[in-house]
Amino acid sequence: MTNENKSNGKSFYGKRNSKKRYVAYRKTNKKRPPKPPVPKESVRIAFLGGINEIGKNMTLYEYKNDMFIVDCGLAFPSADLPGVDLVIPDFSYVEANADRIKGIVITHGHEDHIGALAYLLKRVNVPVYATKLTIGLIKGKLEEHRLLSSVKLIEVKPKDNITLGSFNVEFIHVNHSIPDAVGLAIRCPAGVIIQTGDFKIDTTPVDGDMIDITRFAEYGKKGVLALLSDSTNAERPGFATSEKNVGDSFVNLFNMAKKKRIVVATFASNIHRIQQIVDVAKSRGRKVAVIGRSLENLVNVGCELGYLNIPEGVLIDIDLIKNYTDDKLVIITTGSQGEPMSALTKIAFDEHKKVSLTPNDFVIISATPIPGNEKMVSNVVNELMKHGVEVIYEKMYDVHVSGHACQEELKLMLGIVKPKYFIPVHGEQKHLQKHANLGIAMGIPKENIYVGNIGERIEISYDGIKPLSNVTAGEVYVDGIGVGDVGNIVLNDRKHLSKDGIIIVVATIDSSTGYTVSGPDIVSRGFVFVKENEALMNSARDLACRVIDESYDKNYRDWNSVKTRLRDEISKLMYEKTKRRPMVLPILMEI
């Protein structure tokens, strides 16, 4: 810079101290508006189901004296629960706070989210909020339990807001394997909590209505206290495939079937899948029949509410299939998971009254086995093949896509919601941990991620997550019409019986003399075949007679001690002779 320029007070940018530049400087240094104050309130969450397990989803929110519930689902019993029909959450904590519950919000109509609702409403009758199809499915369940007239069902739609005491809940449309699924934006003085429900990001959904990513992002910009997100597919990389791909696969498979009768097994609740099967069947001039109570119910509800479009004359009653040739039929059935009582299993084992298999059948299993069901599905496939049936079940045919978000979709949800705290839900421990690791990879501090367990109750505020005392939670077993009357003792007895069988010792004793006047008789069930083990049965009879004679005191009749010794001695003998421990049941009668 020259001396002349210096003396004129100029630089390359003009006058150093010009008024114009000073004004511009002031404009760029205006004080920013203060940030809104961080809420000091806290909200509490109790996990009553859906954590460290698949199914039985149920979450309770609490702010001061107000509570509401999200979902109320069931789980299907595993092999170690013999005789149990359904598994539902323990409602003890809800019942203890019944006067504080403002309502139940349902995210979608799958059994693991609505299946236990009728059992809860028998004990705590509060309003239920759900979308149109979900309400339709709930009505069917309440009608079975004779509750429909006494329960208040309130239909909502995406973008609706409801007020539940101190809470305001907004419904946000998401994609899933059933229509009318929603996520939730839960607002209260402590902040905003997003609960996704079950979701995936399907850019080409069958119903043409993509997940409302924009609304989730808007909440992310405003600030989200916590995100509770579906973890079911947290182990799977990439993106979940679009449901439309399955429709293309059905076109190819129907061509492969040629003149054969087509049987498709799928989840009863997958309306989109059913619609695509119907569409392809109609284009090939085939009639469609459905088998399975849950499937028939869904088709009726779907048609009534407009979620299924089945042209007149395409759907026929199962009793009429004998009137059509194989190349003019498609049968849609339940049993894609190999459930023992399902229609497909009965068909495979020749136990179904209306459908018999022939080598001219073409069976498509349009589902992936749920973890733990692989063996049951394999058994059904093997039985089907014994009939000479062609079975399509491999993943290479794209006959099933998941309704749950995979890793990239989960990361996208985390990225747009930007929660301060992250709580993985809806999955086993391996799913929750994997989802937590995705959160860490997305930049959420490890201390801001909470992997919970059933029965835990936490308090969340912008200051942190604080564990509170646990609440009563767990499993309640439904067996027939009995709810909760089957516990660990009964189940242990059933397992014992299933493994080693039972021996019943029956004897009649003369009360005046103490002598055995009848028996002891030995009855065996599920232990050994009596006719081939007479020596063993005679040894048991002699031992029982001796024990009764030695233990029975006519002056002091201690029945329990006699039965206990009988049980111990007979059990000892059987173990020595067979290395098995059957259940021993003594029955003593006094005359």
404 is catalytic: yes
Q: Exactly one of 113, 272, 404, 435 is catalytic; which is it?
A: 404
Taking a C-beta distance cutoff of 8 angstroms, is the pair 239, 305 a contact?
no
Q: Tell which phi-psi region holds residue 237, choosing left (phi > 0), alpha (psi between -120 and 50) or beta.
A: beta
230 is catalytic: yes
| Angle of the 407-417 helix axis to the 213-222 helix axis, nearest 10 | 40
Nearest to 25 by CA among 17, 14, 33: 17
Taking a C-beta distance cutoff of 8 angstroms, is the pair 195, 70 a contact?
yes
Could you give phi then psi for residue 422, rounded to 5 degrees? Answer: -125, 130
Q: What is the DSSP letter of 335?
A: -
Q: Exactly one of 198, 202, 230, 361 is catalytic; which is it?
A: 230
- Rounded Cα gap, residues 448 and 169, in angstroms: 24
SS (H, E, C) 347-395: HHCCCCCCCCCCCCEEEEECCCCCCCCHHHHHHHHHHHHHCCCEEECCH
Residue position matching structure tokens 């028939």 = 296
Residue position matching structure tokens 């530049």 = 21
- Rounded Cα gap, residues 38 and 56, in angstroms: 35
Q: Which residues contact 459 (CB under 8 A, 6 or more apart)?
A: 42, 43, 44, 465, 466, 467, 468
Residues taking part in catalysis = 230, 404
